[in-house]
Amino acid sequence: MGLGFESHLGCLATDWRPVLGVSPSPPALRPVLLGRLRFPVTPYETSGSEDVLLLSLFVHCHCVDFGDLMDRAVQLSDKVHFLSTSLKSDLDYHLPAVGKKIPHLSLCHTSPLKTPMDKNQVLSLSESELLSLVQSLLLSWTDALLLLSSEASSLPHPSTSTIQVKAKQLRENSDTLGTGLSRLAHKMGSSSSSYIPLRYTENSLGGDDDSRLVNFHFLLSCFRRDSHKIDNFLKILRCRANKQKPDMC
């Protein structure tokens, strides 16, 4: 079991460092800088994510509220799922027949990750477990989303430009969310979980146009489901972090 939330509520660790490109310093030196946690501000913007500047005064432990951080994460995940739904409907609108040809979603590459399948199972998980589950899901999808984004331009579909834009946004937001969550988890000190990310190993969607379309659609459907899981888990986490504010749930 990872560390419970109770030990982390209200105050996180104080040495924030820029998220990207900085390796952790040795424990003896803990410079305090303004940290940047890459979370967007609003959920449904279609523009790129924005940096959220987080301040922390190291000595007095005036930290960013964990609940606020979770709120930021939720906004991102909500946006990601919204984008995936929108992208799928765009695909279906012009080529509905393709959607019927896709294989079962049990064949998604993330299926081996045993995720809970009903409410009770989900609620029985601890915060750290939930968090690590979310992380592993996200990590599993980084490569696949990269592929989707790159293949979107050459997709034989009428509205390629829209698809391309959305796929790109999808990838970017997911990356941001993944990075932010990893920092969050690191600060929380959660132990490595039993959830091991399963990377997507294919390099292309297929040879001919038809199979490419079908595979694109299939990947997207898999991601859509997984993004819903991520979103749901994070919302549960947010609710738990904001016990004092029932209006946040």
Q: Which residues bind other proteins (CB under 8 A)?
A: 78, 81-82, 85, 104-106, 111, 115, 117-119, 122-123, 225, 228-229, 231-232, 235-240, 246-249
**Nearest approach, Cβ of 236 to other proteins (angstroms)?**
4
Q: Residue 72: count other Cβ atoms within 10 Å of its Cβ.
A: 23
Question: Closer to other proteins at the Cβ: 122 or 165?
Answer: 122
188, 135 in Cβ contact below 8 A?
no
Q: Rounded CA gap, 228 and 99, in Å? A: 19
Question: Closer to other proteins at the Cβ: 89 or 203?
Answer: 89
Alpha-helical segments (H) within the chain: 66-94, 96-101, 119-124, 127-151, 160-188, 209-241
**Nearest approach, Cβ of 27 to other proteins (angstroms)?**
35
Question: Closer to other proteins at the Cβ: 49 or 115?
Answer: 115
Question: Closer to other proteins at the Cβ: 86 or 193?
Answer: 86
Q: Rounded CA gap, 89 and 98, in Å? A: 12
91, 216 in Cβ contact below 8 A?
yes
**Nearest approach, Cβ of 101 to other proteins (angstroms)?**
13
Question: Closer to other proteins at the Cβ: 71 or 172?
Answer: 71
**Nearest approach, Cβ of 104 to other proteins (angstroms)?**
5
- Six token digits for residue 96: 């509905």
3-class DSSP state of 115: coil
**Nearest approach, Cβ of 238 to other proteins (angstroms)?**
6
Question: Closer to other proteins at the Cβ: 36 or 225?
Answer: 225
**Nearest approach, Cβ of 63 to other proteins (angstroms)?**
22
Q: Rounded CA gap, 193 and 137, in Å? A: 12
- Six token digits for residue 22: 């900085």
Nearest to 18 by CA among 62, 52, 68, 61: 52
